[in-house]
Amino acid sequence: MNGNSSKSEMQAAYWMATPWLIGFTVLTVYPFLASLYWSFCRYDMLSAPKWVGLANYRRISTELFSGGTLAQAIFNTTYFAILSVSLSVVLGVLLAVMLSWEVRGRAVFRTICYLPSVVPIVAACVLWIVLLDPQQGMINEILLKLGIPAQGWFKSTSSAFWPPAWPEDHAGRIVGSKDGLVLMGVWGVGNLLVIYLAAIADIPPQLYEAAELDGAGRWRQFWHVTLPMLTPVIFFNVVVGLIHSVQAFTQIYIVSDGQGDPAGATLTLSLHLFLAAFKELDLGYASAVAWMLFVIILLITIWLFRTSHRWVHHQGGA
């Protein structure tokens, strides 16, 4: 009797899981395997795929070494990913620490910091396009009042953290479109903030008491207690943040008019892949770029996990 009941429960479980299994197979497994096959084909979606071997990957190699569009896309993606993730981690940790203090109105401040993360991404893009308008944007008006020259933002190819691009703009205009994308990414740090606040609340108070008995002030408590105890959460957010930033598409498509403008300054790998597939109808090459992107993300993730033992500390660990 028990055996029949157990068998019936297993059958019911399989039937309940069937819709998910079908969706996973059709929407994930099949596209995954199909893109791998197409990456070795010439395929324009208008005719059957034609096997060309490694031709698409040879094209990728040629573009990388010749400094073509693909090389520019990789540079832009790297620039955006490194800056947006690092600044989001730093700002998220600092805000979480300050919002964990017992002050009046703490709930209000937490709400204000979290609100940007619930704004729909399209609405947020439109808002930032208006705010960062080179002629009438509020951000430039504030900069001018502070004695700082107005910046080009989404209309400029300059890069604040890449000196070779500085001479392109004059009169102190060193901030460009990639920096605007980074600013948009940092603005939505509210999701990370919630995770950091939960992690701070989980830190044993005995650690702070011991540090205080040793004469540690607020800064030393942060550096020797709070920050080490947050490293597992920081590690998680770095891994997830890098994956999301490398795959970022919607906001980049909107602010660049779907072309990576101006002059390819916002052309990232995801946008380059999209244009190759649906503008040039070269799905074989686009699939090869997608697999290159997959390998890049995989290698970065493996490297982060391999090096995490050097700086990630766990409660009760050595």
Q: Which residues pair with 29 in a beta bridge?
A: none
50 domain residue, yes or no: no
> Is the full-model pTM beyond 0.75?
yes
> Residue 14: which pLDDT band, with cuts at 50, 70 and 90?
confident
Q: Quick check: 214 pLDDT over 60?
A: yes
Number of domains present in the structure of the chain: 2
Q: Quick check: 202 pLDDT over 70?
A: yes
Same domain? For 80 and 23 the reply is no
Same domain? For 108 and 245 the reply is yes
32 domain residue, yes or no: yes
pLDDT higher for 40 or 150? 40
45 domain residue, yes or no: no
What was the pLDDT predicted at 157? 86
Report DSSP letters for the chain, one per residue. Answer: -HHHHHHHHHHHHHHHHHHHHHHHIIIIIHHHHHHHHHTTEE--SSS--EE-TTHHHHHHHHHHHHT-HHHHHHHHHHHHHHHHHHHHHHHHHHHHHHHTS--TTHHHHHHHHHGGGGS-HHHHHHHHHHHT-TTT-HHHHHHHHTTPPPP-GGG----TT-GGGGGGS-TT----HHHHHHHHHHHTTHHHHHHHHHHHHTS-HHHHHHHHHTT--HHHHIIIIIHHHHHHHHHHHHHHHHHHHHT--HHHHHHTTTTT-STTTT--HHHHHHHHHHTS--HHHHHHHHHHHHHHHHHHHHHHHHHGGGT---TT--
Same domain? For 188 and 254 the reply is yes
What was the pLDDT predicted at 172? 64
Nearest to 173 by CA among 134, 218, 124: 134
279 domain residue, yes or no: yes
43 domain residue, yes or no: no
Same domain? For 33 and 104 the reply is no
Query: What is the percentage of the chain residues whose pLDDT exceeds 70?
Result: 94
Same domain? For 15 and 98 the reply is no
What was the pLDDT predicted at 164? 57
Nearest to 131 by CA among 158, 153, 148: 153
* Residue 16: domain span: 2-38
Nearest to 134 by CA among 90, 98, 179: 179
Region of poorest pLDDT, from 48-52, 79-83, 86-90, 153-157: 153-157
What was the pLDDT predicted at 4? 67
Same domain? For 153 and 236 the reply is yes
Mean pLDDT of 173-197: 90
pLDDT tens figures, 249-286: 999 999 998 899 888 899 999 999 999 999 999 999 99
Could you give the CA distance from residue 193 to residue 91 in angstroms, rounded to a whole number? 9
Same domain? For 194 and 88 the reply is yes
Tell me, what CATH number does 168's domain have? 1.10.3720.10
Name 242's Cβ contacts closer than 8 Å, sequence gap at least 6. Answer: 81, 85, 297, 300, 301, 304
pLDDT tens figures, 302-312: 999 999 988 98
What was the pLDDT predicted at 11? 83
Same domain? For 150 and 285 the reply is yes
pLDDT tens figures, 71-127: 999 999 999 999 999 999 999 999 999 999 888 888 999 999 999 989 999 999 999
Same domain? For 273 and 180 the reply is yes
> Residue 237: which pLDDT band, with cuts at 50, 70 and 90?
very high
318 domain residue, yes or no: no
Same domain? For 20 and 134 the reply is no
> In whole angstroms, how far apart are CA 68 and each of 137, 190, 232, 248?
33, 37, 39, 21
What was the pLDDT predicted at 2? 58
Q: What does pLDDT average to over the chain? A: 89
